[in-house]
Amino acid sequence: MTRIPDFDDVRAAARRLEGHARRTPLLADTPLDGLTGGRVLLKLETLQHTGSFKFRGAWNRLVQLNETERAAGVVAFSSGNHAQGVAEAARRLGIHATIVMPSDAPRIKLQNTRNMGAAIVEYDRVRESREQIAAKLANERGATLVPSYDDPDIIAGQGTTGLEIAEQAAEHGLTLDDVVVCCSGGGLTAGIAIAIAQLAPQAGVWTAEPAAYDDHRRSLAAGRRQRNEPGAPQSICDALLAPIPGELTFAINQPLLRGGLAVSDDEVRQAIVFAARTLKLVVEPGGAVALAAVLAGKLDVRGRTVAVTLSGGNIEDALLTELLKTS
């Protein structure tokens, strides 16, 4: 296992990101307070560059490459948001990026990645291994492989989200009781957990996942990494389909997290519609699971102050239209 990042790494990442990543709002005083009986704060990473938190980790990783590494390019694998984060960071730094993406990724994520100048290699997520394809490409080209979560610099970059949550809650004069994080491989969760443990140690950090892909919830309960069942039904949450928690991310998350929450696809759909109609926010399925968990009462927030990540807003127009029409 590579080194485990700490709070100093998160602080260093924040310095690298200053002037490049957005300090996204922590939205307070919404109708969620009346609905839940708590004080719910929404971290709007939907407003980050490329529409998700992924730009943070990608920039922190790529900006540290030396001239030789930049000239050789980077390779990443992603269903969409990490792809866009790496593509945009690479574009700004003048680095060639190749992204391995599933052929069934949302069209908006594929097109946005291409528009940022990255080359895309598509694969079949059922029959092929994206890790093997990306590793082969990187090896052939002498390029740097940029993992989506199991990397200390990626985790530290994502941890700046938690740094901002803690600082912004304090600016509101609030003491955090809980933080609920949308989770797949665990990079955002791990980074946030590192920052919250330092700045708001009284707060419990929780993962939120699709019910069929709740590997973090089960892993935390079992005390060891649990794999999702092969052939699990496809979830609407295309961004949260990692097969197992990352080795590095779970090493961080296991001692720092309070537990895990799981939501159904129907609960995610309801959260997307609530965000659009009531909050006037556009949120993609994977970015809505933490909100869905709070709306569905998976965590009792009555009388508590709870921060919730809205981690991405890259939803297909057709899907959002369909949900709004049928709900």
Question: Does residue 284 share a domain with residue 247?
Answer: yes
User: What is the mean pLDDT of the segment spanning 84-109?
Assistant: 94
Element (H, E) at 209: strand 204-210
Quickly count: other Cβ atoms within 10 Å of residue 318's Cβ: 11
Which residues, 6+ apart, have CB-to-CB distance to 58 below 8 Å?
76, 82, 85, 86, 88, 89, 90, 146, 154, 157
Using CB atoms within 10 Å of the CB of residue 296, give its burial: 0 to 12 exposed, 13 to 18 middle, 19+ buried. Answer: middle
Q: Quick check: 79 pLDDT over 90?
A: no
Tokens of 60: 């922190």
**Residue 1 confidence (pLDDT):** 54
Is residue 25 one of the residues assigned to a domain?
Answer: yes
Q: Quick check: 317 pLDDT over 80?
A: yes
Cα–Cα distance, 83 to 113 (Å, whole number)? 6
Question: Does residue 271 share a domain with residue 166?
Answer: yes
Q: Which of 145, 176, 207 is the last residue of a domain?
A: 145
pLDDT digits (tens, 9 = 90+) for 128-185: 888 899 999 999 999 999 999 999 999 999 999 999 999 999 999 999 999 999 999 9
Is residue 139 one of the residues assigned to a domain?
Answer: yes
Average pLDDT over the chain reads 96
Q: Which of 123, 145, 167 is the last residue of a domain?
A: 145
Give the residue, 175 or 107, on which the prediction is more confident: 175
Alpha helices (H) in the chain, listed in sequence order = 7-17, 32-36, 54-62, 67-72, 81-93, 107-115, 130-141, 152-171, 187-199, 215-222, 247-256, 265-277, 289-295, 317-326
Question: Does residue 249 share a domain with residue 303?
Answer: yes
Question: Does residue 313 share a domain with residue 235?
Answer: yes
User: What is the mean pLDDT of the segment spanning 252-259?
Assistant: 98
Is residue 95 one of the residues assigned to a domain?
Answer: yes
**Residue 73 confidence (pLDDT):** 98
Provide the residue range defining the domain that includes 208. Answer: 7-52+151-326
Confidence of residue 51 (pLDDT cuts 50, 70, 90): very high
Which residues, 6+ apart, have CB-to-CB distance to 78 below 8 Å?
54, 84, 86, 99, 100, 101, 148
Confidence of residue 226 (pLDDT cuts 50, 70, 90): very high
**Residue 91 confidence (pLDDT):** 98
Judge whether 93 and 62 are in contact, CB under 8 Å: yes
Is residue 1 one of the residues assigned to a domain?
Answer: no
Q: Quick check: 121 pLDDT over 80?
A: yes
Q: Parallel, antiparallel, or unpaired: how do β-strands 26-27 and 39-44 relate?
A: antiparallel
Burial 29-55 (b: 16+ CB within 10 A, else e): ebebeeebebbbbbbbbbbbbbbbbbb
Q: Which of 145, 168, 198 is the last residue of a domain?
A: 145
Burial 93-102 (b: 16+ CB within 10 A, else e): bebbbbbbbb
Question: Does residue 18 share a domain with residue 116?
Answer: no
The total number of structural domains that make up the chain: 2
Is residue 186 one of the residues assigned to a domain?
Answer: yes
Residue 64 to residues 90, 154, 244: CA-CA distances in angstroms?
A: 12, 11, 28
Comparing CA positions, the residue from 161, 186, 171, 159 lying closest to residue 8 is 159
- Lowest-confidence segment of 74-78, 102-106, 216-220 by average pLDDT: 102-106
Is residue 236 one of the residues assigned to a domain?
Answer: yes
In the chain, the percentage of residues whose pLDDT exceeds 70 is 100
39: left (phi over 0), alpha (psi -120 to 50) or beta: beta
Is residue 102 one of the residues assigned to a domain?
Answer: yes
- Lowest-confidence segment of 4-8, 101-105, 272-276 by average pLDDT: 101-105
**Residue 218 confidence (pLDDT):** 97
Find the CATH number of the domain harbouring 59. 3.40.50.1100
Question: Does residue 170 share a domain with residue 105?
Answer: no
**DSSP three-state, residue 112:** helix
Is residue 2 one of the residues assigned to a domain?
Answer: no
Tokens of 72: 């050789």
**Residue 136 confidence (pLDDT):** 96
Question: Does residue 294 share a domain with residue 209?
Answer: yes
Question: Does residue 284 share a domain with residue 156?
Answer: yes
Cα–Cα distance, 205 to 181 (Å, whole number)? 7
Using CB atoms within 10 Å of the CB of residue 11, give its burial: 0 to 12 exposed, 13 to 18 middle, 19+ buried. Answer: middle
- DSSP structure class, residue 183: -
